[in-house]
Amino acid sequence: MKCIGFVGSVDKTELVMYVAKMLATMGKRTIYIDATSTQKTRYIIPTIFGIEEENQYVVQHDGVEFAIGFTNMLELKKYFLSKGEDFTEFEYVLVDTDMNEMCEEYDLKSANSLFFVSSYDKYHIKKGVSLLQYMCAVKRKVDPDAQLALTKLLYYSDVNTADSRFIESQTENLPLLWVHNTVNFPYDQGDLSINIQNQYSNKIDVRNLSNAYKDAIINTVSAITGDEKNVLKKVMKNVANTAKFSR
């Protein structure tokens, strides 16, 4: 089992969903844990009638399992045990959070892969950096010389004139190790519209996303799995074909 953390104050629900769908299409049993303050997946992921009234539940959607309302791994393990299943059978556990306590509860400082997700909005940057400060402090309590290894995922728009060095200026005094090149996601009306359309079609559908957005998804998955991008492009085509022929 590999734990993959996505931390930051910006809404990253669809981004993580697409990554989860790619992994699931590769035959990797994958669960998305919504550990955010907004719990957006509780409102957009279709459920069996009545289940959404429960505080904690797991539901499968388009080949991906979603865990909603859980505050730590132990709760999840007990939930699956009550269903006669073994939580450790998941190959990838994706944790999406914007809260300090969830970073600690899911031990994201020790995640197999960790992503800092932000836009160039100063609010998102500074709130996100506060998460990194917290995680670095927790990690250095264990090892005073430790670095937090992670990758930047940045949303941008055509009208954005922000200086990308602002993030570096905010993090330069933190013990961070950037292990991959920054992955840039377009944040324009076209891709945002597709994300909303997918909520109504009840699919994790990549077909109408921009090529730049799909490339960014591929780059993110490559950073997680180590697979070559040409291999992942074929996976992306399979994801698109699955959406095309599903109802």
Q: What is the pLDDT of residues 131-188, one digit of tens each?
A: 999 999 999 998 999 999 999 999 987 555 566 788 889 999 999 999 999 999 987 7
Q: What is the pLDDT of residues 185-238, one digit of tens each?
A: 987 778 989 999 999 988 899 999 999 999 999 999 999 999 999 999 999 999
Tokens of 73: 């791994």
Q: Using the 8-state DSSP alphabet, how is residue 87 labeled?
A: G
The rounded distance, in Å, linking the Cα atoms of 180 and 48 is 39
Domains located in the chain, CATH noted: 2-236 (3.40.50.300)
Give the model's pLDDT for residue 189. 78
Q: Using the 8-state DSSP alphabet, how is residue 182 labeled?
A: P
How confident is residue 17, by pLDDT bands cut at 50, 70 and 90?
A: very high
Give the model's pLDDT for residue 245. 65
DSSP result, 73-87: HHHHHHHHHHTT--G
Q: What is the mean pLDDT of residues 81-99?
A: 95
Contact 99, 5 (CB under 8 A): no
Give the model's pLDDT for residue 8. 97
Contact 67, 34 (CB under 8 A): yes
Q: Is the pLDDT of residue 114 over 70?
A: yes
The rounded distance, in Å, linking the Cα atoms of 33 and 161 is 34
Q: Is the pLDDT of residue 76 over 60?
A: yes
Q: What is the pLDDT of residues 25-60, one digit of tens each?
A: 999 999 999 999 999 999 999 887 667 678 899 999
Give the model's pLDDT for residue 156. 86
Nearest CA to 23 out of 112, 150, 133, 124 is that of 112
